Structure 1
């Protein structure tokens, strides 16, 4: 991989502290009186919208909860709307492969319905989904491929009845899953519960990013808030979740997926091109944009290596979008140039690989580095990046104030060839926006998310740039499915909106699709907005009290506080 050795870092590069904390250049309104005034910084305090929430039929009215004030300049608001009217159904797997629940072939769905009815299943029906398209045109499929079709078998008032019927039809070779109709139906009456934490520009809090005691291990949002001494918190980045749905789990469930910067220390590299929430960056206190990161290390003899990552087990790059010659999965369909991402572009639910990597570990990770394979190498450096120890195979203590460079394959050999004990490496990192401008500052924090939901005050969902892709460039679940969502937005007045929408709870809150989430953020006044976490991650904690209902699965289940990788936290000034 000779291209790694030809890299040069410009003297004007923005250098983030990967080795030290020092940065070198590196519906009715509520029945209350309107007493809003101009705040000290000249902005207008947040007000509830005057129109109904844009969810469900227009006949539904929004109910506004009372406003709470956890801290001066911070308000909590709850909006509810709709009622439970949907029931359960059996979504059938479609022929010929019996794996897909939706198809772009209307004829296939029609034919299956005909066959089922001919066999006596008169309740079989075809359903149509026509979701909006993503905003980034390079990933739009042809116009005739935007509609999806499914086949449902009956409606049921509860899951038990649906499961009983599914067991019966399975004996005839018909397979499917039990779904709540609100999960994918085009129009729903809900209900919905939307919770918003609003932070004014002059609020008596600082906004930051935090994780638990060790970055390698996930923690609940409540535990992260306690560890950070925060008065409020919401879940932030997606992470390498330990789940049957994540077959490439790397063994450390605290690992954030995408960029994570805390107090100007890069703790997780970007999934290049994904949307991120920036706090106290070079361009202002709040910003939502797409980021790329690139890091290098120069050995005492002048040789350079493009660092592959931070705080993750070398060799696997979840969601792709890495650097340095990563490989796409062998199962990747071919496609035409530009139709599918290469390994350097985000690609959700896929894992790219690289047998030749160097990954950096700081003490925030935990007490020791992961155990490496045969031939792997750890180079232990102090706070000034002076090499103190070489060990092989990799795996061992991370010294307080120090760092460890862990290499595999050609990366391990490079460390063997170029490490000189008691001599210093020179690290450097650039974190850039789409215009190629630096975004870091001494107090910079950032968390990855995506896609964007609102940009310039209009709904704008850049699904492709955030890795929601399929063979034809369109990821069905992005638009079709309702889930709990955690969202972030910025208003024209500079307020930060941290919004949690509960889901998967029939009769309480069914969740939202991506376009519905975007519409809600625009309704709340966001001129820029994005998604953070999704599903059971979605959690809001204020003053050590859980304010929402985190839910892993559809149906009636106990509230479950899922462990997550990191959080956005509000600390009292």
Structure 2
């Protein structure tokens, strides 16, 4: 049966920032096995809730299940246009031309159309169009794959898709897993990474190393994958803020939403965070440090010091705004490397000029000035400079004399958040709930197209998601919603994620990683089903940058 055309009302609902009517915030306390309806899908869907499982006193796990498969498998085609091809276009002329070509080849194509709101520059609506062939029921993936092969043999670039990902009304199904930590529980909250910051490790392995009771994925990172053409060489490098034990191990994409644990102002907080580091040279000259533990000149997620520019050519950014998943570059930088980074500083990239390392001991006293790229001695710090940053280091570094560092991490009101036990991660974002109401700040988290101002696919499509929040009573909520599996769970849009967190009773909440990163481990056991793609045949535990863990005191 053909699916209805995607309408304006549905598209706008996906990114609405308005709060919905109050949900069943007491759902996690209902032990009857039949909780109220989760705010997912039609209102007549019934939620089945498993009985709570106590992981340790004050820490409980619960799974909620709702809905059934009704979406369709299809095959999507890349659309020829002047200058290349695209999977979606704003101009329907080229989509219609492709459908005519398909008809001439004996295929029945269609154009699926969307109207999406513009989030910046005064608003408005823009259209998007995709070309698809075939409609198969939720068990019909093999048929869709065979059709994809026929279309490729006919000269088309094609991919198999499941329409639940589009983000329009669906009946699911959904599996929502919730860990609730009472503020009186004898546990602590931390952020941890693997062997070093520049490499990845599975959430299960990080949990084991930390002795964690519960762990979920934390930051997104610069991942080595075919879709990341701007990979900088270190796939554990977190995108944005990462703090462990009050040590800043990755600078913020300034203004993005972060999860703060065991810091000033509360054990669990969600807020927009800025970090700033500077060094004072022995002669009293002061310079801002551009980054912590990353390749100089490469700023994933942008939002740096103000002279960054997007590598995709969409211009300089004097306001230093963050852009999720985008690589920014800069010619003149100073980056600090700590031992947590790994064994050695990165060799300079070909475009870097005059690169230099200043090797210091743990007290920031200069021990050596050398060409960039070399070992990081135990307990040492290394400042690597490129361009004017390298010139500044050569002019002011003196062997035997010390620099004086200073770092500030502040919230949206400009107040410090640091404490001796602070951990923090900025996941994929955005914020989801603020003061008990749905509040989705996609623009602040750089989750919109820089040219058209429309929300990115990560906002409006359904994906697996890891969410975190805090209730009015101070409970930590760690939530995973599986996706990319028609038989068990299709995932959620950002708006749906926000509604679920409000329903669970979150006072403040945010989204951490999405997609194949989404992982929940408890007592060393994988509790959810991480899926790399809609066409994955089985769950895969992806290696990630870091994890948020709950450990016994």
Separation of aligned partners in 2, 1:304 and 1:411: 12
Evaluate the alpha carbon distance shift between residue 265 and residue 30 of structure 1 in structure 2; reply closer, same or farther with a 3 A threshold.
Answer: closer
1:102 aligns with 2:83: no
1:422 aligns with 2:400: yes
For 1:20-35, list aligned pairs within 5 A. none
2:79 aligned counterpart, secondary structure: coil
The equivalent residue for 1:234 is 216
Evaluate the alpha carbon distance shift between residue 57 and residue 264 of structure 1 in structure 2; reply closer, same or farther with a 3 A threshold.
Answer: same
Q: Is the 8 A contact 2:25 2:504 kept in 1?
A: no
For 1:117-128, list aligned pairs within 5 A. 119=104, 123-128=108-113
Q: Is the 8 A contact 2:216 2:519 kept in 1?
A: yes
Counterpart among 350, 356, 370 of residue 326 in structure 2:
350
Counterpart among 504, 523, 533 of residue 543 in structure 1:
523
Evaluate the alpha carbon distance shift between residue 163 and residue 48 of structure 1 in structure 2; reply closer, same or farther with a 3 A threshold.
Answer: closer
Counterpart among 288, 292, 311 of residue 293 in structure 2:
311
Offset at residue 69 of structure 1 (A): 1.1
Offset at residue 115 of structure 1 (A): 3.1
Evaluate the alpha carbon distance shift between residue 121 and residue 223 of structure 1 in structure 2; reply closer, same or farther with a 3 A threshold.
Answer: same
User: What is the TM-score of this pair, normalised by structure 1?
Assistant: 0.85
Deviation string 1:173-198 (CA, Å, 9 cap, x unpaired) is: 55432101211151112111111111
The equivalent residue for 1:92 is 77
Counterpart among 417, 421, 434 of residue 439 in structure 1:
417
Q: Is the 8 A contact 1:328 1:342 kept in 2?
A: no
Structure 2 residue runs of 5 or longer lacking an equivalent are 1-22
The equivalent residue for 1:210 is 192
Q: Is the 8 A contact 1:485 1:531 kept in 2?
A: yes
For 1:175-190, list aligned pairs within 5 A. 175-184=157-166, 186-190=168-172
2:424 aligned counterpart, secondary structure: strand
1:560 aligns with 2:545: no
Q: Is the 8 A contact 1:326 1:343 kept in 2?
A: no
Separation of aligned partners in 2, 1:107 and 1:312: 44
1:464 aligned counterpart, secondary structure: coil
Q: Is the 8 A contact 1:140 1:474 kept in 2?
A: no
Separation of aligned partners in 1, 2:330 and 2:290: 9
1:454 aligns with 2:433: yes
The equivalent residue for 2:343 is 367
Deviation string 1:242-300 (CA, Å, 9 cap, x unpaired) is: 11111121211111110111111100000111110011222221111111111110100
Offset at residue 141 of structure 1 (A): 6.2
Evaluate the alpha carbon distance shift between residue 263 and residue 196 of structure 1 in structure 2; reply closer, same or farther with a 3 A threshold.
Answer: same
1:286 aligned counterpart, secondary structure: strand
Separation of aligned partners in 1, 2:24 and 2:295: 53
Separation of aligned partners in 1, 2:70 and 2:302: 40
Moved more, 371-380 or 545-554: 371-380
1:249 aligns with 2:201: no
Counterpart among 254, 259, 264 of residue 277 in structure 1:
259
Separation of aligned partners in 2, 1:520 and 1:486: 12
Offset at residue 410 of structure 1 (A): 1.7
Counterpart among 344, 358, 383 of residue 362 in structure 2:
383
Deviation string 1:475-495 (CA, Å, 9 cap, x unpaired) is: 340333211100111111111
Separation of aligned partners in 2, 1:208 and 1:106: 49
The equivalent residue for 1:164 is 146
1:144 aligns with 2:125: yes
Q: Is the 8 A contact 2:88 2:128 kept in 1?
A: yes
Separation of aligned partners in 1, 2:55 and 2:164: 33
1:301 aligned counterpart, secondary structure: coil
User: What is the TM-score of this pair, normalised by structure 2?
Assistant: 0.88
Evaluate the alpha carbon distance shift between residue 315 and residue 117 of structure 1 in structure 2; reply closer, same or farther with a 3 A threshold.
Answer: closer
Q: Is the 8 A contact 2:306 2:318 kept in 1?
A: no
Offset at residue 169 of structure 1 (A): 3.5
Q: Is the 8 A contact 2:431 2:509 kept in 1?
A: yes
Q: Is the 8 A contact 2:180 2:475 kept in 1?
A: yes
Offset at residue 166 of structure 1 (A): 3.0
Evaluate the alpha carbon distance shift between residue 129 and residue 62 of structure 1 in structure 2; reply closer, same or farther with a 3 A threshold.
Answer: farther
1:261 aligns with 2:243: yes
Separation of aligned partners in 1, 2:504 and 2:243: 27
Evaluate the alpha carbon distance shift between residue 554 and residue 118 of structure 1 in structure 2; reply closer, same or farther with a 3 A threshold.
Answer: closer
1:486 aligns with 2:473: no
Separation of aligned partners in 2, 1:531 and 1:329: 26
1:52 aligns with 2:33: no
Offset at residue 451 of structure 1 (A): 0.6
1:167 aligned counterpart, secondary structure: helix
Offset at residue 320 of structure 1 (A): 1.1
Aligned residues: 523
Offset at residue 30 of structure 1 (A): 12
Counterpart among 374, 383, 394 of residue 396 in structure 1:
374
1:327 aligns with 2:309: yes
The equivalent residue for 1:13 is none
Separation of aligned partners in 1, 2:238 and 2:153: 43
Offset at residue 48 of structure 1 (A): 9.4
Separation of aligned partners in 1, 2:219 and 2:27: 37
Separation of aligned partners in 2, 1:275 and 1:185: 23
Deviation string 1:400-443 (CA, Å, 9 cap, x unpaired) is: 22211111222222111111111110111121222222221222
Separation of aligned partners in 2, 1:282 and 1:520: 28
Structure 1 residue runs of 5 or longer lacking an equivalent are 1-26, 36-46, 335-339
Separation of aligned partners in 1, 2:494 and 2:94: 27
